[in-house]
Amino acid sequence: MSLIPVSRYFALLARYLRPQRGRFALLAVCLLTSIILQVIIPQVSREVIDLATDAPPVIAGAQSDPAADRLTMQALAFIGLALVQQIISLGATALGERVAWMATNTLRSDVLAHVLRLDMPFHQATNAGALIERVDGDISQLAEFFSQFFIRIVGSLLLTGGILVALFLEDSRAGLIYALFAGAALFVLYRLRGVAIEPARALREIFAQLSGFIEEHLGGMEDLRANGAGGYVIDRLADIHQEIRRRWSRAVFYNALFQSTNGVILTAGFSVAFITGALLYERSAMTLGGVYLLMNYVVLLNRPLTDLSNQVERLQTISASIARVNDLLETRSALPQVADIVAQIIPPGALAVAFDSVTFGYAPDQPVLRQVSFRLSPGETLGVVGRTGSGKSTLARLIFRLYDPQEGRVMVSGAPLTAVHLGDLRRRVAVVTQEVQLFEGAVRDNLTFFDPTISDERITAALSSLELESWLRELPDGLETRIGSGGQGLSAGQAQLLAFARAMLRQPDLVILDEASSRLDPLTEARIERAVDRLLHGRTGIVIAHRLATLNRVDHILVLEGGSAVEAGSRAALAADPASHFAHLLRLGDGALS
């Protein structure tokens, strides 16, 4: 994998730190002040040593000793400056954390919003665990890096520069030697920053696979237990952990190699410090305090170089994280979006629907629908019938524009879906399926999708219009009744009723019912049938059902067979025609659709 250029780090930092520029400026002031104090404090120590070594012997009974007074003042200055430096450093660290997490939370929101805009083929081809790792794991890595970037990297570079300037002022030869040493050390560390990128990337990828595996199999726990598949899950989990162990070992090896190189550089630095200090002192080119200053600065220089090496190591991991986040942000939906300025406006009221020679397959060479055409006028209801796998649910997904057909056009009220703003289309269409997605929270939150602007009165009115007041009263805490993850606490029938209430709250102009009553008991189904009549009143409706009895309310019938529309027409006319496919299905009953 190629290295991510340093400019990409700065571009990402600048984009998300720009809104935090006020706090960032304060952070820069704190950091610069802390660095200046770190350079000054050893100068105070040098002054103390030189005063102590040059001071005359103390005379017994002397009333005042100017040298001792100066030593006391220097000692107090050292303590005061050290305390102030620690307080400022602590404040800079806290401020850096705040700025970093606020910036990366914005990045996380942007990435999640982008993922939600991507098309269904992307989500079907991408492991859910990998997406979680991108949105959470990788961005958390970036947050930790951002929080330390200016404290560790920029701070270390500034501190290194300050130390070198102080050394040049003390003795130009010492300054030159350590400038060359620091430059060589930073060059080597910079060149080594890519050593562990690929192992780090591979390690995070396998952890993403582990997250997806656990998420998928925890969701199917009931089926796994019912079918005795626990052994397979454990074996597969063991295989993943073996791969984690292998990749972890490789990543640790390369990190250890990098740290060993860093240790060699630091050892060389201490050797240079000892030799330089001894030579300058022997030639009387430097006082004992100056030698101490030299050694102190070398020790102080050790910390920024160590921090830089550690952050360079972090850059190796962050490079992989930034690459994955950038790849995700650069992924484009397969559904082209029309610009607002040229988007066609869908007229108000019930929608007309038309399919014009539509061919579509989830794999291009395996069509699910073949040259399907039909017209549905506003306010009418179409019943779609066919055997399992004939393409009924696919037809609904095309209307909602989860996919685009490979051939032909889908239109609403005369406008091709590709020419309509996607948000406008989906606000006008409601889809109710037998698989209801529920979230952990109150019934109110699941009805409104956590929209606080929808009032209880509006929710109650929607339920009343569907004759579902009794259902609401059956709930132990009404709208505040808690629902567990995945709908725990609700029966299948209650979950289906909730889905119908969701659709009514949206006040759609087109309602698609995809096997929406197949999970209901007879009593609940009788209640839902009345709700369906009210939901479809004044709206265009498409009813997809395996049971023929649910088609009694529709105006028209479309019969699909093998992905082709073999028959379309008035339900009454087709039912009365003994030669029609629909009449044949009615004679055979529901078993003909399985």
Q: Which residue segment(s) compose the domain that 145 sits in?
A: 6-55+65-330
Burial 213-226 (b: 16+ CB within 10 A, else e): beeebeeeeeeeee
Query: How far apart, in whole angstroms, are the C-alpha atoms of residue 471 and residue 455?
Result: 19
Residue 1, in any domain of the structure: no
Q: Is the same domain home to 156 and 276?
A: yes
In this prediction, residues 32-42 reach a mean pLDDT of 88
Q: Exposed, middle or buried, 305 (CB in 10 Å: 0-12/13-18/19+)?
A: buried
- Give the orientation angle of helix 288-330 with respect to helix 197-219, to 10 degrees: 50
pLDDT by residue (tens digit) across 175-205? 888 888 888 877 776 666 666 667 877 887 8
* Predicted pLDDT of residue 190: 65
pLDDT by residue (tens digit) across 334-365? 887 777 777 888 899 999 999 999 999 988 78
In this prediction, residues 145-172 reach a mean pLDDT of 79
3-state secondary structure 253-307: HHHHHHHHHHHHHHHHHHHHHHHHHHHHHHCCCCCHHHHHHHHHHHHHHHHHHHH
Q: Is the same domain home to 159 and 202?
A: yes
Comparing 197 with 294, which gets the higher pLDDT? 294
Q: Is the same domain home to 112 and 51?
A: yes
Residue 339, in any domain of the structure: no
Q: Is the same domain home to 412 and 297?
A: no
Count the domains in the chain. 2
Give CA 328 to chain center in angstroms: 10
* Predicted pLDDT of residue 277: 76
Binned at pLDDT 50, 70 and 90, residue 206 comes out as confident
**Top-confidence range, 41-50, 220-229, 290-299, 521-530:** 41-50
Q: Is the pLDDT of residue 557 over 90?
A: yes
**Quick check: helix, strand or coil at residue 562?**
coil
Sign of CA dihedral 516, 518, 519, 525: positive
**Quick check: helix, strand or coil at residue 346?**
coil
Q: Is the same domain home to 162 and 287?
A: yes
Residue 473, in any domain of the structure: yes
Q: For strand 556-561 and strand 381-386, is the pairing parallel, antiparallel, or unpaired?
A: parallel
Q: Is the same domain home to 413 and 268?
A: no
Q: Is the pLDDT of residue 128 over 80?
A: no
Query: How far apart, in whole angstroms, are the C-alpha atoms of residue 479 and residue 445?
Result: 8
pTM: 0.66
In this prediction, residues 153-167 reach a mean pLDDT of 83
- Strand ranges for 202-246 from DSSP E: none
* Predicted pLDDT of residue 548: 79
Q: Is the same domain home to 363 and 323?
A: no
Residue 337, in any domain of the structure: no
Residue 492, in any domain of the structure: yes
Closest CA to 523 of 486, 473, 471: 471
* Predicted pLDDT of residue 594: 52
Which CATH number is 526's domain given?
3.40.50.300
> 537 is written with which tokens?
């009143």
Residue 184, in any domain of the structure: yes
Per the CB < 8 A criterion, the answer to whether 490 and 442 are in contact is no
Q: Is the same domain home to 230 and 361?
A: no
Of 287, 315, 330, the residue that ends a domain is 330
CA angle 394, 399, 402 (to 5 degrees): 70
* Predicted pLDDT of residue 2: 44
Q: Is the same domain home to 357 and 481?
A: yes
Dihedral through CA 316, CA 188, CA 278, CA 49, nearest 10? Answer: -40
Q: Is the same domain home to 358 and 292?
A: no
pLDDT by residue (tens digit) across 372-382? 999 999 999 99
Q: Is the pLDDT of residue 59 over 60?
A: no
Closest CA to 442 of 408, 477, 466, 412: 477
* Predicted pLDDT of residue 492: 73
In this structure, the chain runs to a length of 594
Q: Exposed, middle or buried, 458 (CB in 10 Å: 0-12/13-18/19+)?
A: middle
- Strand ranges for 352-406 from DSSP E: 353-360, 369-376, 381-386
Q: Is the same domain home to 291 and 358?
A: no
Residue 373, in any domain of the structure: yes
> 463 is written with which tokens?
């339920």
Q: For strand 510-514 and strand 429-433, is the pairing parallel, antiparallel, or unpaired?
A: parallel
Which CATH number is 189's domain given?
1.20.1560.10
Residue 241, in any domain of the structure: yes
In this prediction, residues 552-570 reach a mean pLDDT of 91
Q: Is the same domain home to 317 and 391?
A: no
Q: Is the pLDDT of residue 24 over 90?
A: no
Query: How far apart, in whole angstroms, are the C-alpha atoms of residue 264 and residue 496?
Result: 67
